[in-house]
Structure 1
Amino acid sequence: MKSFAHHRCAVVLTVSALALTSCGTSGNEGEALESQSAQASEASAHEGWNFEREGGVLDFGEVAGTLNGGGASSHEPAMKRWVEIFAQISSATVNYTSVGSGDGRAGLVTGEYAFAGSDAVLNPEERQEAQDRCGPQGAFHLPTYVSPIAVAVNLDGVDEVNLSAETLADILAGEITHWDDPRIAEHNDEALPSTGITVIHRSDNSGTTENLTEYLEAAAYNWEHSAGGDWPEELTAEFGSGTRGVLEELEHQEGGITYADAGQVPEEFVKASLYVGGEYTELSAEAASQAVSASDRLEGGPGNDMSFVLSRDTEEIGTYPLVQIAYTVWCNQYDSEKEAQLAAAFATYLVSEDAQETAANAAGASPLPEELRTEALDSIDRITW
C-alpha cells in the first residue's frame, strides 16, 4: 500500500522501521522487517502528491481518468461549477449525480461512487461498512463548505417572517395551520395574512431533512419526532424529491413553507429569520459560519476525519443555527493508484481558495476558514491505495 502523504510523514515511517530493525530478530520475522524497511525507504524517497507549482497555483495537468460521485442535491450548484472547472485544469472527468445524501453515502459504501456528497455524517453502521470498501481506516469527511438552510415561505406581499424554533415546530407538525395565528403574530411586527399553511417536505432520504430535524429536536421543546434523514412518517404533508422538487412544489402553493439549501431558494420567496438569544437572526453565510465555530468535533472516526456535532441550541446572538455542513466523504484507501490520485486531486481542488470562492458565488456558501483548509489538506494526504 502506497501513501500520498507528504515527505514529513515518510520520514516517520523510516525512523519507525529502523527502530524495529534494531530490536534484533531472525528468520521469517527478520525478513518481514526487512520488507517493512524497504517499503519505508521507498516511501521516504516519494515526494508525495504536490499539486502546486511555483507561486502556489494548483496544477492538475497530469491527473487523468474518470471519477464518479453522488449524493446531496444541495451540493448541485457548487458541484456543477467545480466539475466544469476541474475538467479545464486537468485531464480528468468528474461525474456527480444528485440522489440525496443517504443514497450518496450508500453508493460510496457499495463502490458505486468514489466519493459522496452529504449534508449529514456517516452513521455507525455506515462507518463499519465503509471499512470493507475503503480499507481498515474506512471513510473520512471533508467539510467542503458551510451552508445555511432556509425556511422558505411563499406569501404574496410579505417581505419578512420571524419565527422561533417552537413556532416553526408547530407549523411543520401541523399544529399551526394559518399565517395569522397568534403564535406567529407575536414574533412579527406586521400582521400576516390569513392564508392557509401548506407544509412541503423532502420525500427522499435527505441530509437537509436530518439537519432540520436535529435543529428542532435540540432547540424546540415541543418537537416530538425523532431526528433523521427521512421526514417523520406520522406527519402528513405535501412533498417533493430533492431540493429542486420541494422548491418547485412551493411555487404552486400560496402560503407554502419548506426548507432548502439557502443558495438555491429563489428571491421571490421569503427566507425566515430565527429567534436566537433574544433577537431575530437573518439568514446569512456569516451567521451560519458562526454556528459552526461554536460547535464540537464528532468522535469515533479515523484520525483524519473532520465531521462536526453542530450546536443547534446555541443562544449566541448573531448565530443562525439551522445550518448544514456540505461534506464530501472519501475513502482512506482506494483500489488503485490512479483512482487514489484522482480522488486526492479533486478533493484538494474542492478545498482550495478558488473552489471556495466558486461555492460562495454559486451556492451562497460560507468559505472554509484557513485553519480548516489547512487541516483538510493534511486529511487528504492520508489517502492511500
Structure 2
Amino acid sequence: MGSAVAIGALALSLAACGSDDATGNGSGTSTDGASAGGSLSGELNGAGSSAQGSAMDAWRSGFQSANTGVTVNYDPIGSGDGRKQFLSGAVQYAGSDAYLKDDEIAQAKTTCQNGDVVELPVYISPIAIAFNLKGVDSLNLDGPTVGKIFNGKITKWNDAAIAKLNPGVKLPSTAITPVHRSDDSGTTQNFTEWVKANAGAAWPYDAAQTFPVKGGQSAQGTSGVVQTIKGGEGTVGYIDSSQVGDLGSAKIKVGDSFVAHSADAAAAAVSQSKVVSGRATSDIAIDIDRTLTDSSTYPLVLVSYDIACTTYKDANTAALVKGFLSYAISDAGQQAAASAAGSAPLSSDLTTKAQAAVDAIKAG
C-alpha cells in the first residue's frame, strides 16, 4: 500500500452546487465553517476513504464557494492509504472509515508537531449488504448466514439457510460470488467487526481492514465493488449504502427483527455506542456496539472520520484545516453531505464535541 498521491493532479475546481445555506451565513463564526468575506486562501490536500467521496465533494464545493481563494483536494484512495499519507506528512488531513490505532496515534506525534490527533466522526452511514440477483430486491440475512456467505460455506442462493430466513421468496439456484475490497479499507474493518460480533463460529476471523478470506472477487474502493457486483449475476458485497442504487440489499437481524439500512437507524446505533476512553479530547473515536438488539438501530454502520492535527507548522495551514473541518461538521455541511450521500447528520452532542476539537487547531 502507501502509494504516492499525485496531489498536483487532484485539484478539482468544483463549481458551487448548493444553495447559499450550504456554505453558512458568512459570519465567520466557527459554527458555519465559512470564512467571513472569503478571507482564507491557499491549497489544502487530503486523501483516504472512498466511502466519504460524495460527502467530501459536497464539503469541498461548499467551502470553496465561500472561500474563492482556496482549493481543497481529496484523493479517495481508501482509508488505509489515506492514513499512511497523513502520517507521512504528504497530506494535511485524511478521511478514514476506521479510527487510528494506538501505534498510529504514537506515530502521529511527529506528524502533528508533538500535538494531538484530531479525529472527527464527520460521516455516519449504514453499510449495505448489496447483491445482484434477478427477480429478488430484498432479503433477510442474519449474522451466521452472512458469515457463511462471505466465508464461502454457502455457495447457492437457494441454500436452506437463506430460504429459512426468507419464506415465500423464490430463490434461484444461482451461484453466490462474494465481492470484497482489495485495498486496506475501513469499510472492511466495520463490516468484519459486525460479522465477527454476530456470526459466531461461522466467522473464525478477527475484524480487519484487509479482508481475511481468500477467494471470491475483489475490487479497489467502493466504486470498484459496486461495479463488480453490477457486472455479475449472483454477486454480493458490502458497500456504503449511498451507493446501492438499483441493486438489491439485505435486511439484517437485530434482536428479533430484520432491519433495513437507513440513515436514521445508523444514527441511532451510533447514539447508543460509546466514545473510546483514554484518548485526547480532540480524538472522538467511537466504539460501535455491534450487538444492539433495539430494532430502531442498524449496527452494521460506518462512522467515517476526518483526521487532522491540533498543531501545524504554519498559521495558514492551521487556518485552512480549521475552516474546512468547521464547515464539514456544521449544520450546513452535514445537510450538504446528507443530500449528496444520504448520510445521517451528527447529533448535537457529537457536534459540540467535534467543534471543541476543531477549535483546538493552531500553528505550532
| 1:229 is aligned to 2:212 | no
Matched AA of 1:210: Q
The reply to whether residue 78 of structure 1 matches residue 68 of structure 2 is no
SS in 2 for 1:325: strand
Shift of 1:127: 0.6
Match in the other structure for 1:52: 27
Q: Secondary structure at the match of 1:244?
A: helix
2:284 corresponding residue in structure 1: 306
Aligned match for 1:274, one of 244, 252, 259: 252
Q: 2:310 is matched by which residue type in structure 1?
A: N
Distance across 2 between alignment mates of 1:178 and 1:316: 31
1:384 Cα deviation after fit: 1.6
Asked if structure 1 preserves the Cα contact closer than 8 Å seen for 2:34 and 2:323, the reply is no
In structure 2, C-alpha distance between the alignment counterparts of 1:171 and 1:281, rounded to whole Å: 19
8 Å CA contact 1:200, 1:246 repeated in 2 = yes
Tell me if the contact between 1:52 and 1:58 (Cα under 8 Å) persists in the aligned partners. no
Q: Is the 8 A contact 2:33 2:63 kept in 1?
A: no
Please tell me whether the aligned partners of residues 34 and 327 of structure 2 are also in contact (alpha carbons under 8 angstroms).
no
Structure 1 stretches of 5 or more lacking a match? 1-50
SS in 1 for 2:228: helix
Aligned-pair identity in percent equals: 39
**Aligned residue in 2 for 1:118:** 96
The CA distance in 2 between the partners of 1:59 and 1:367, in whole Å, is: 18
* Contact 1:102–1:118 (CA under 8 A) maintained in structure 2: yes
Whether the 8 Å CA contact 1:276–1:320 is kept in 2: the answer is yes
CA deviation after TM superposition for structure 1 residue 57, in Å: 5.5
The Cα shift of 1:237 comes to: 1.3
Partner of 1:238: 217
- In structure 2, list runs of 5 or more residues that go unmatched: 1-25
Correspondent of 1:174 among 140, 149, 152: 152
Query: Separation in 1 of the partners of 2:237 and 2:34?
Result: 41
Change (3 A) 1:342 1:326: same
CA distance in 2, matches of 1:75, 1:265: 14
> What's the TM-score, normalizing by structure 1?
0.84
**2:225, 2:54 → 1: CA distance?**
16
**Which residue number in structure 2 is paired with residue 24 of structure 1?**
none
Which of 164-173 and 185-194 deviates more?
A: 185-194
Secondary structure of the residue aligned to 1:247 is: helix
Please, which of 168, 180, 192 is the counterpart of residue 171 of structure 2?
192
SS at match of 2:162: helix
The aligned length equals: 333
Residues 277-286 or 132-141, more deviating = 132-141
CA distance in 1, matches of 2:119, 2:61: 23
Instruction: Work out the CA distance in 2 between the residues paired with 1:164 and 1:139.
Output: 37
Task: Name the Cα RMSD after superposition.
Answer: 1.5
Equivalent residues of 1:311, 1:321 under 8 A apart = yes
Cα deviation, 1:81-121, whole Å, max 9, x if unaligned, reads: 21122111012110000110011111111101100000001
* Residue of structure 2 in register with 1:105 after alignment: 83
Q: For residue 136 of structure 1, give the secondary structure of its aligned residue in structure 2.
A: coil
The residue aligned with 2:23 is none
SS in structure 1 opposite 2:215?
Answer: coil
**Residue 65 of structure 1: aligned partner:** 42
The alignment's TM-score, normalised by the length of structure 2, stands at 0.89
Q: Does 1:133 align with 2:111?
A: yes
Per-residue deviation at 1:301?
2.2
